[in-house]
Amino acid sequence: MVGERRLSGALAEVTLDGGRVVMVKNGDEPGAVRAEAAGLAWLAEAGAVRLPEVRGHDRYRLVTDRVAEGTPGAAAAHRFGRELAALHAAGAPAFGAPPPGGPEEAYIGRAPMRNVPGDDWPSWYAEHRVLPYLRRAVDEGVLRPAEATVIEGALERLPDLAGPAEPPARLHGDLWNGNVLWGADGRVWLIDPAAHGGHRETDLAMLDLFGCPHLDRVLAGYQEAAPLADGWRERVGLHQLFPLLVHTVLFGRGYAGQAVAAARGARA
């Protein structure tokens, strides 16, 4: 190793002998590094989106290539939309299926996320994504019981609200703007996945939740490659319930109102 530049408590940019620059990420939670390494490999296997190559990992550290960053562009966004559609189309064995070699007890960021396979998206999403964090938010006092009732009502109607049944898609799983890198090569690169089998609208809802440059061009490219089912815009809030509740538990009541509003806005 020639040099190290600490970017955060968990992430460092390291220059190796010979000049190669890699990213070294520390994972304190059991299974977190294994889950991320397996997710990167599974997403790369689809040959659809750009991902940094995994150079090695052990129980606590993950080493990947560094992505040289550029600036967001409309052409790159449009291309990324088409690539994301191809990634989703690569499919998964089931909703909730982990990547090959990935653990059942995985993570979305620093939050636990169980990858338990299910046969249909509405019941799987309610049981293994939304309800665990809904209960935890109430137990920890960051979501009021009356607010939880609103979200529970949306979950009860989920089979009618979810739209046409679709096969499991191969999801990045944590596709917020911070995990979308605009490369110096004019391509979009994805990092830090919470990969699993899920509904393809979930990744798109995550892009929308925290903002993504040129999102309109991303969606245009996606729709050209794999048109979304009618009513997808009305379902965005349903797909945002999980990340909003995760943020409510991790960061407090500032996100609780957004989760309740998303549930109230759900309509068939």
Q: What integer pLDDT is reported at residue 13 of this predicted model? A: 77
Which H helix or E strand runs over 202?
Answer: helix 200-209
Closest CA relative to residue 142, chosen from 260, 22, 267:
260
Q: What's the CA gap between 53 and 267, in Å, rounded? A: 41
Whether 174 is a known active-site residue: answer yes
For the stretch 149-164, pLDDT in tens is 999 999 999 999 999 9
pLDDT at residue 16 is higher than 90: no
- The residue type at 49: V
**Is residue 63 within 8 Å of residue 177, measured between CB atoms?**
no
Q: What are phi and psi of 182, to 5 degrees?
A: -95, 105
Read off the pLDDT of each residue in 92-102 and give the average, rounded to a whole number: 97
Confidence of residue 17 (pLDDT cuts 50, 70, 90): low
Percent of the chain with pLDDT over 90: 82
Read off the pLDDT of each residue in 249-265 and give the average, rounded to a whole number: 95
* CATH number for the domain formed by residue range(s) 68-264: 3.90.1200.10
Q: Which of 58, 120, 174, 208 is catalytic?
A: 174
Q: What integer pLDDT is reported at residue 6 of this predicted model? A: 64
